């Protein structure tokens, strides 16, 4: 469900003129007030262009991402993941695919924090105008935390979303991320929803048999992206936080390195698709070794065919597909306020592994 208003921004250098301390002091006072007021002065003072943010002695620049930042962007992820061990993807290919999503447009909606020509953090703004929402995601280098960088980045992103005319900004955090929760409080975001990450260790586990059903299951075929778009939008029309997908973005996601059409199982009643299970596979490198992890990316059932065993059937087909690839760990995420889905996953053997919390700030 995870993304376009763009500002016309040209990259330029900004230098502090130490010889003119009066002007520097004026800048410092104006920008300090600007940060405290969630960047309300931003559009007037810097017109949402490149900004110098002085937080005590920690001066850094917030600016738009540019294509020549990519190598440093990758390095920022690698160094952060080596410290955090959060499971974030940091391969060049996956990061390039993230930046290439048709909804992101990084040169308009991705902002980086820079100090001494080094990237020390970033925030991405995934714009969803159909439902008036911006989803924010980002990180700060472990050696640069507790210096106001995250506050500056996310306040900048919230103002960007406000200028785009969106109604709300939302951020998802791990329940154990206390620093992130403190940031939410500073920025005025409120907790609104809980999601549950679950995992299944299936190396030695026998999956339940797929029983005879009134529908048939087959793989998605190349060129059927419109079909998948339609069944996904029907299945999730009443789901919290779901933004209707376009065929363009579905096509993009189906052809990422983690997926292919044959990784999506579709249930049919005659010629009508009534449910699907979208699986993905991720290769994670650990020095010279690597591991493979599976994911149930999306599981949907047409509202006309719920409570008839379709969801369980396509889920088991998807799990069997992943297990046939010798994948031993499979993950998924489910809405904490959807007990039907939670009970389905539990009945097959999934265990809760993490709680994710969504926070929101109203912009209008």
pLDDT in tens, 266-279: 999 999 999 999 99
* DSSP reduced 3-state for 76: helix
What CA–CA distance (Å, rounded) separates 340 from 227?
26
Structure tokens at 63: 């600016």
Give the angle subtended at the CA of 88 by the CAs of 334 and 226, to the nearest 5°. Answer: 55
Evaluate whether residue 16 is within a structural domain: no
For 84-127, write each residue's pLDDT tens digit: 887 777 889 999 999 999 889 999 999 999 999 999 999 999 99
For residue 193, being part of any structural domain is answered with no
- Total of domains in the chain: 2
pLDDT of residue 58: 66
Q: Which of 188, 215, 245 is at the close of a domain?
A: 188
Output the domain CATH number for residue 306: 3.40.630.30
Residue 325 lies in a domain: yes
Residue-level pLDDT at 12: 29
Task: List the structure tokens of 211.
Answer: 């029983």
**pTM, rounded to two decimals:** 0.83
> Residue ranges of the chain with pLDDT lower than 70?
1-58, 285-289
What domain range includes position 321?
Answer: 198-357
164 located within any domain: yes
**Would you state the pLDDT for residue 55?**
53
Residue 11, domain member (yes or no): no
Q: Is residue 15 part of a domain?
A: no
36 and 178 co-located in one domain:
yes
The answer to whether residues 349 and 239 touch, using CB atoms and an 8 Å cutoff, is no
Residue 354 pairs in a beta bridge with 197
Cβ-contact 26, 44 below 8 angstroms: no
Per-residue confidence (pLDDT) for residue 53, from 0 to 100: 62
**Does 5 map to a domain?**
no
In a domain, 327, yes or no: yes
Which pLDDT does position 238 carry in this prediction? 94
Q: Mark whether 212 and 266 lie in a shared domain.
A: yes
């Amino acid at each position: 469900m995870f993304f376009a208003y763009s500002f016309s921004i040209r990259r330029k250098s900004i230098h502090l003129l130490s010889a003119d301390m009066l002007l520097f002091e004026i800048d410092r006072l104006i920008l300090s007030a600007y940060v405290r007021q969630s960047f309300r002065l931003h559009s007037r003072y810097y017109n949402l262009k490149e900004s110098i943010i002085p937080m005590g002695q920690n001066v850094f620049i917030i600016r738009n991402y540019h294509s020549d930042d990519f190598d440093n962007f990758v390095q920022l992820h690698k160094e952060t993941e080596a410290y955090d061990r959060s499971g974030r993807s940091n391969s060049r290919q996956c990061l390039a695919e993230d930046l290439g999503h048709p909804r992101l447009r990084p040169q308009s909606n991705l902002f980086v924090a820079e100090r001494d020509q080094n990237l020390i953090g970033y925030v991405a703004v995934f714009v969803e105008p159909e439902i008036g929402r911006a989803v924010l995601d980002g990180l700060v280098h472990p050696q640069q935390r507790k210096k106001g960088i995250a506050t500056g980045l996310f306040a900048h992103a919230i103002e960007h979303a406000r200028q785009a005319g969106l109604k709300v900004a939302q951020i998802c955090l791990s329940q154990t991320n206390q620093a992130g929760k403190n940031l939410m409080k500073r920025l005025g975001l409120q907790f609104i929803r809980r999601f549950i990450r679950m995992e299944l260790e299936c190396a030695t586990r026998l999956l339940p048999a797929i029983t005879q059903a009134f529908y048939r299951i087959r793989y998605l075929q190349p060129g059927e992206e419109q079909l998948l778009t339609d069944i996904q939008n029907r299945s999730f029309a009443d789901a919290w936080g779901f933004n209707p997908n376009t065929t363009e973005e579905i096509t993009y996601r189906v052809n990422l390195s983690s997926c292919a059409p044959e990784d999506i199982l579709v249930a049919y009643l005659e010629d009508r698709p009534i449910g699907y299970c979208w699986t993905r596979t991720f290769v994670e490198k650990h020095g010279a070794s690597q591991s493979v992890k599976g994911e149930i990316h999306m599981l949907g059932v047409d509202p006309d065919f719920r409570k008839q065993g379709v969801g369980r059937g396509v889920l088991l087909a998807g799990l069997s597909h992943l297990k046939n690839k010798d994948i031993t760990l499979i993950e998924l995420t489910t809405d904490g306020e959807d007990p039907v889905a939670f009970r389905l996953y539990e009945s097959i053997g999934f265990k809760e592994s993490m709680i994710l919390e969504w926070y929101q700030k109203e912009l209008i």
